A and B are shown apart, each in its own frame.
Chain A
């Protein structure tokens, strides 16, 4: 069974940093692109960042470009999101999401981890 489990969320002050992790199981991790998608409280979905299976290609939403870095460790079946210079508007539930192979849509989602940026 495909499973992705996020961790690392919490409360952080504006300007601070946080690293999210996503542990994957039930599939050959290195063969699948992965993404982070977030949802601010009471709002819609926002795609944040994506990475190819081997990690050689990354993409970002304009709202996080230059502040967030996506990476993966295929030996540990783990996806990461390093978030720097956090702002109040980054407050959201962050979902780890699996793509089918290198296709751009998402076929599996984690349960999400809440990031709150507040002083």
Chain B
């Protein structure tokens, strides 16, 4: 199975900051990666798929990049609603797997 390692696990930042979250795969997965965020008590929501394609309706401050084994999610200017938990998911092969999550907290 493909393992995904997200870093950092926790991140403290302020409104307006630029933040980057990294997701590393245990083997190459081309661009088969998605990013989600999840607010407490709510279902996750899709942000990005195919490593860099923004899901319809997602603000342009979110962007994704990478291929192979290393991927990044960047939020160009944190907004209050962005303080939540982010997950990557590999789409290359079954079983599909998620990273352990990155919680973005208010500094």
Contacts and interface: CB of A to CB of B under 8 A. Distances in A.
Contacts, number: 54
B60 to A, nearest CB: 19
Given A106-B46, A110-B43, A47 B97 contact: yes
B43 A44 contact: no
A82 interface: no
Interface residues of B, number: 22
A109 B44 contact: yes
Tell me which of B36, B38, B96 has the highest count of chain A C-beta atoms within 10 A of its own C-beta.
B96
**Looking at chain A, what size class is its interface with the partner chain?**
20 to 34
Contacts of A47: 89, 95-98
24 contacts: A44-B87, A44-B98, A44-B99, A45-B36, A45-B38, A45-B98, A47-B89, A47-B96, A47-B97, A50-B94, A59-B96, A61-B95, A62-B95, A95-B43, A104-B91, A104-B96, A105-B46, A106-B34, A106-B36, A106-B44, A106-B46, A107-B55, A109-B45, A111-B43
Interface of A: 35, 37, 44-47, 50, 59-62, 95, 103-107, 109-112
Given A62-B1, A109-B45, A112-B43, 9 more contacts: A44-B98, A45-B98, A47-B89, A62-B95, A95-B43, A106-B36, A106-B89, A107-B55, A109-B44
